[in-house]
Amino acid sequence: MSQATTEKAASRHAPELLELVASLPALPGVYRYFDAQDQVLYVGKANSLKKRVSSYFQKDHGGTRIGHMVTKIVRMETTVVRSEAEALLLENNLIKTLKPKYNILFRDDKSYPYLKMTRGVPVKIPEAAKLAASPLALTNPSTANPLSVNPQQVPRVVYYRGAVDKRHDYFGPYPSVWAVREAIQLLQKVFRLRTCEDTVFNNRTRPCLLYQIKRCSGPCVGLISVLDYQRDVDSAMRLLRGETQEVMSNVESRMMAHAERLEFEQAAELRNQMSALSKVLHQQAVDTVGDQDVDILAVKVQGGKACVNLAMVRGGRHLGDRPYFPVHVDDAEPAEVLEAFLSQHYLDVPVPPALITSHAVDKELLQALIDQTGVKITAVHNPREQRRVWLEMAQQNADIQLARLLAEEGSQQARTRALVDALDLAPEDLEQFRVECFDISHTSGESTQASCVVFHHHKMQSAEYRRYNIEGITGGDDYAAMRQVLVRRYSKLAEAVRAGEGKLPDLVLIDGGKGQVSMAREVFESLGLDLSRIVGVEKGEGRKVGLEELVFADGREKVYLGRDSAALMLVAQIRDEAHRFAITGMRAARAKVRVGGSKLEEIPGVGPKKRAKLLQRFGGARGVGDASVQDLCTVEGISEDLAQTIYNALR
């Protein structure tokens, strides 16, 4: 360090920290910075810890994001690893678990859909030859699966999400569900592969509708030999890998072979397959310039926000785009956002051998990815010809998606400001303005639940939603339910606030009118909380949307904001989300209670007919559980001994 820089750093940081920085080894590793509250500020990796970490304290970063972060560093931890690839993996794991304030964070998204091809049991050569020589025919439609074709010998193509099973073949990932569905429809149209479950396959007595519309070749009832079906599967997989010309040549040679043997029906089928394949390839044509699997990454940064648009080419086919919006961007450069995406994304998602990027990729980062994934990756940031067209398309989509995000966020900020102004609130920071909204839901008093949804940072925060099972009240008593949920929600928080360790929401919305608000007022008074925070949303005349009035717990007159009010739009949005969340929870709880009828299935002597009569007689599983032995005996077929058995089993 220079003398001036050293003195400036010393004035801001403790000598112990600077001594630790000076003693770091020139080895690969991961470093973590902490503030005075021991919160993680930043996690980074380095090929040389000494060189990388020293750069933070040697340079004047000014008022940038990194500059603000450096001024808050009080403590540091480092971990030495064997290679930069290991550092990359450790850094990514720490970022996901610690969520540091100054790291550019991408949502942990492992939900990419795949196209799955189940791998069938190999057909033995003698059996295959026999089946091929005598194409299977449906001889007796009244017999289920008359030729006993094993579904394990007949692969199926399906949409799939989840962990990859090595026993099957997977293609993708695809950027969207729509892209997978389109690929499956393509395979059905050209190769007529099955999509049905094995249980359906085993119990078919005649071809299904998909066979009638020429989307399946009917292997379940023996309308195609297992060997010929497997050939179609092989062709489909080669097509998915981008081997289009090889597939066309193979189908053509098979067609000519059938024609030479005067097997004109089989030749005609293959001719139709070639025609369908040609039409599809014409519609899906992409000049791949020799590329099979490519990811195109375009970055746009504006207004403290960023968008990384990922376009995918798989098997030579352009599958579509998927935008990503990281947080903690602030004044980060596009190249920095791109590197953060590469570091976090491709350790969970398979990386293709070719990347086309809007900005240059650091060579050390690329090598670390290669070492970690085992895939030889090339990255091009200044492409030509068709690759340039792809990148321009991705860049345009990134611009559009980011502009849409900024417009939506600007609209939400305007709504938040309008609500604050309309209710004459004075939050310390509009960005931190927090609303909690409560709703009660039940069906005739059954499975009563309360929901609490949270609006913060100008958007709904689904991770902070909570449901409360309401117990010990009279069914249908919404006031008692509201009292219970508010006490459970705020009693501990009130103690924390009095101790100076907690913070109440700026606004508590109650879905209801004077009665519900009065109940909320009683709870807040008993807890010693500010009544001005409570606002009820009372439905207007005829319960029409846009006519809602706001009811205040502190005695103010009701307020009608107006149908076109931005503040009312936000209130309605939050209220409707609370109602939706409560309804879904109530239905799930009610279904769980009613599915309790499955306990009846475990009782010896209670078969399907008796179970149906019991449920019908008492209106559901709960009614059966509440019935006495004498009541159970009134059901046809239920003896006194069986009634006693049922009574004991359900208690």
Q: Which long-range contacts (CB under 8 A, 24 or more apart) does 281-287 make?
A: 281/244, 284/186, 284/317, 286/313, 286/316, 286/317, 286/318, 287/386
Residue 398 has pLDDT above 50, yes or no: yes
Q: Which of 234-243, 276-285, 518-527 has the lowest mean pLDDT?
A: 276-285
- Give residue 131's pLDDT band: very low, low, confident or very high (50, 70, 90): very low
Q: What is the mean pLDDT of residues 113-134?
A: 58
pTM of the model: 0.62
Report pLDDT digits (tens) over 454-496: 999 888 998 899 999 888 887 778 888 899 999 999 998 888 8
Q: What is the mean pLDDT of residues 529-540?
A: 87
- How many C-beta atoms surround the C-beta of residue 434 within 10 A? 17
Alpha helices per DSSP H over 299-384: 334-345, 363-373
Place of tokens 């081997």: 243
Cα four-point dihedral sign 549, 551, 555, 556: negative
Contact 217, 224 (CB under 8 A): yes
Q: What is the mean pLDDT of residues 231-251?
A: 78
Domains of the chain and CATH, by start = 3-98 (3.40.1440.10), 115-242 (no CATH), 294-405 (3.30.420.340), 430-592 (3.30.420.340), 602-649 (1.10.150.20)
Q: Which of 94-108, 192-206, 404-418, 617-631 has the lowest mean pLDDT?
A: 617-631
Place of tokens 């009095």: 498
Report the DSSP beta bridge partners of residue 29: 46, 80
Average pLDDT, the chain: 81
Helix, strand, coil content of the chain in percent (nearest 5)? 50, 15, 35
Q: What is the mean pLDDT of residues 136-165?
A: 62
Place of tokens 């010393």: 10
Strand-strand pairing, 317-324 and 305-314: antiparallel
Residue-wise DSSP of 381-428: SS--HHHHHHHHHHHHHHHHHHHHHHHHHHHHHHHHHHHHHHTT---S
Report pLDDT digits (tens) over 254-308: 778 777 778 777 777 777 766 666 655 544 444 444 457 899 999 999 888 899 9
Per-residue pLDDT at 540: 72
SS3 38: coil
| Environment class of 69 (CB within 10 Å of its CB; exposed 0-12, middle 13-18, buried 19+) | buried
Extract the tokens encoding 37: 């509250």
Half-sphere exposure of 598 (CA within 13 A, CB side): 5
pLDDT > 70 in the chain, percent? 85
Contact 415, 569 (CB under 8 A): yes
Place of tokens 């417009």: 407
Biggest alpha carbon–alpha carbon distance for the chain: 97
Per-residue pLDDT at 627: 83
Name the residue type at position 518. S
Q: What is the mean pLDDT of residues 82-87?
A: 85
Report pLDDT digits (tens) over 326-345: 988 877 889 999 999 998 88
Per-residue pLDDT at 438: 93
Pick the closest to residue 274 from 295, 298, 259, 254 (CA basis). 254
